[in-house]
């Protein structure tokens, strides 16, 4: 096995094709949690018809995109900031907020801490306990607000644990936070891939709670991580400060085709919901039957697994799977997890079958 450090994120098919010699199209990428329905056909057509327009600079103010997102999310345009993937929004937010202390329930996506630290914040982690199925203890979290915390970041559904915080609980938390002058940042990158879709979102509360900021992306739901399009929803004065600080033209022209597509995306969204409903539960059942792994029940389109046989580490499993053309996410570098954790995606039935077969081959071979 190579002694290279754990990749900071999933989805590095380029390194894998280099290291294992697989053709990019043969690889089964379960390390990134993307809608397996693929790039919507109509979106592809819009991009193709936009190619002559590449001769123009993108609209620095993303006017058409803001308008389309406003209609899709039912929030005013002036509460929306658009960026080069959600990553740009995360960094921009902390650059503008400059919080001195940020509270982050973990394990979670590492970029919040990375961004907050870059702009001088001290990070306090709040441990999500394995024995609670990594569910958030609200009462305890709210107690932490006392200690000079400026902001709390919640990933909902949470990556990598695939747990969803009920909206009612969230609103209570946002209210408590407001009373204590704490910003609440909620990353909803996967929200359209939960049962209930946007009804789980707290974006509609932005008008009511000035201390609330929502991170969003079209990356997962429209299967377009290569296109780079994220957005944020928050109080208009904060959003204005973010636009003022944002680099010009960071959103490419083709990404703005998503705006045009949004109004016609109903069928695709419906098909996505049906796929998830049809495939999640049989896939989870199959996984549960495999010896040597513990399955944390998922509320989004990805699953956290724990290897219960000590002879198998996450690194070894990832390597063995990659040799067989299947990429999974080594989750050992998530705060509070160790080398017994991996994260996998949920895909279409055929891929899921090949995945189960391969995983069984690797995990159960010493049984």
What residue ranges bind a copy of itself (CB under 8 A)?
A: 8-14, 18, 24, 29, 32, 34, 38-39, 44, 47-48, 50-61, 63-64, 84-85, 87-88, 91, 111, 223-228, 247-250, 252-255
Query: Roughly how many angstroms between the first and final C-alpha of the chain, as a whole number?
Result: 22
* Cβ distance to a copy of itself smaller for residue 124 or 250: 250
* Cβ distance to a copy of itself smaller for residue 34 or 206: 34
Instruction: State the pairing for strand pair 183-187/151-155.
Output: parallel
Q: What's the count of helices (H) and strands (E) in the chain, helices before strands?
A: 12, 13
Question: How far apart are CB 36 and a copy of itself at their closest, in Å?
Answer: 8
Residue 41 in contact with residue 265, Cβ under 8 Å?
no
* Cβ distance to a copy of itself smaller for residue 207 or 225: 225
Question: How far apart are CB 2 and a copy of itself at their closest, in Å?
Answer: 16
Question: How far apart are CB 335 and a copy of itself at their closest, in Å?
Answer: 18
Question: How far apart are CB 172 and a copy of itself at their closest, in Å?
Answer: 34
* Cβ distance to a copy of itself smaller for residue 40 or 292: 40
Instruction: State the pairing for strand pair 341-345/183-187.
Output: unpaired
Distances from the Cα of 316 to the Cαs of 3, 31, 157, 267, in angstroms?
Answer: 11, 15, 28, 41
Residue 211 in contact with residue 93, Cβ under 8 Å?
no
Question: How far apart are CB 86 and a copy of itself at their closest, in Å?
Answer: 10
What length is written for the chain?
Answer: 367
Write out the H or E segment, with its range, that includes residue 294: strand 293-296
Question: How far apart are CB 234 and a copy of itself at their closest, in Å?
Answer: 20
Question: Dihedrals φ, ψ of 222, to 5°?
Answer: -100, 10
* Cβ distance to a copy of itself smaller for residue 248 or 311: 248
Question: How far apart are CB 52 and a copy of itself at their closest, in Å?
Answer: 6
* Cβ distance to a copy of itself smaller for residue 9 or 349: 9
* Cβ distance to a copy of itself smaller for residue 86 or 235: 86
Residues near 309 by Cβ (< 8 Å), separated by ≥ 6? 291, 292, 363, 366
Residues near 287 by Cβ (< 8 Å), separated by ≥ 6? 293, 295, 303, 305, 356, 359
């Amino acid at each position: 096995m190579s002694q290279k450090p754990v990749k900071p994120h999933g989805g590095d098919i380029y390194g894998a094709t280099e290291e294992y010699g697989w053709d990019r199209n043969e690889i089964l990428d379960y390390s990134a949690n993307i809608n397996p329905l693929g790039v919507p056909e109509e979106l592809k057509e819009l991009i193709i018809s936009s190619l002559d327009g590449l001769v123009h600079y993108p609209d620095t103010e993303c006017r058409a995109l803001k308008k389309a997102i406003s209609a899709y999310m039912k929030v005013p345009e002036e509460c929306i900031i658009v960026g080069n993937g959600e990553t740009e929004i995360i960094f921009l937010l902390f650059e503008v907020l400059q919080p001195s202390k940020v509270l982050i329930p973990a394990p979670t996506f590492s970029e919040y801490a990375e961004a907050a630290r870059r702009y001088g914040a001290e990070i306090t982690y709040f441990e999500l306990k394995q024995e609670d199925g990594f569910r958030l203890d609200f009462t305890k979290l709210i107690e932490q607000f006392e200690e000079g915390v400026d902001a709390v970041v919640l990933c909902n559904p949470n990556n990598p644990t695939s747990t969803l915080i009920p909206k009612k609980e969230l609103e209570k938390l946002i209210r408590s936070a407001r009373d204590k002058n704490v910003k609440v940042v909620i990353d909803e990158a996967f929200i359209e891939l939960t049962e209930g879709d946007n009804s789980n979102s707290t974006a509609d509360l932005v008008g009511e709670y000035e201390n609330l900021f929502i991170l969003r992306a079209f990356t997962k739901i429209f299967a377009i991580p290569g296109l780079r399009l994220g957005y944020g929803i928050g109080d208009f004065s904060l959003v204005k400060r973010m636009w003022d600080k944002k680099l010009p033209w960071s959103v490419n022209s083709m990404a703005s085709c998503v705006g045009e597509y949004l109004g016609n995306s109903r069928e695709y969204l419906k098909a996505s919901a049906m796929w998830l409903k049809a495939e999640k539960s049989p896939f989870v059942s199959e996984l549960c039957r495999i010896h040597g792994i513990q399955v944390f029940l998922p509320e989004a389109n990805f699953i956290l697994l724990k290897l219960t046989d000590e002879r198998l580490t996450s690194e070894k499993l990832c390597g063995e799977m990659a040799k067989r053309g299947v990429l999974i996410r080594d989750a050992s570098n998530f705060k509070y997890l160790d080398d017994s954790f991996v994260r996998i995606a949920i895909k279409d039935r055929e891929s899921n079958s090949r995945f189960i077969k391969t995983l069984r081959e690797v995990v159960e071979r010493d049984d």
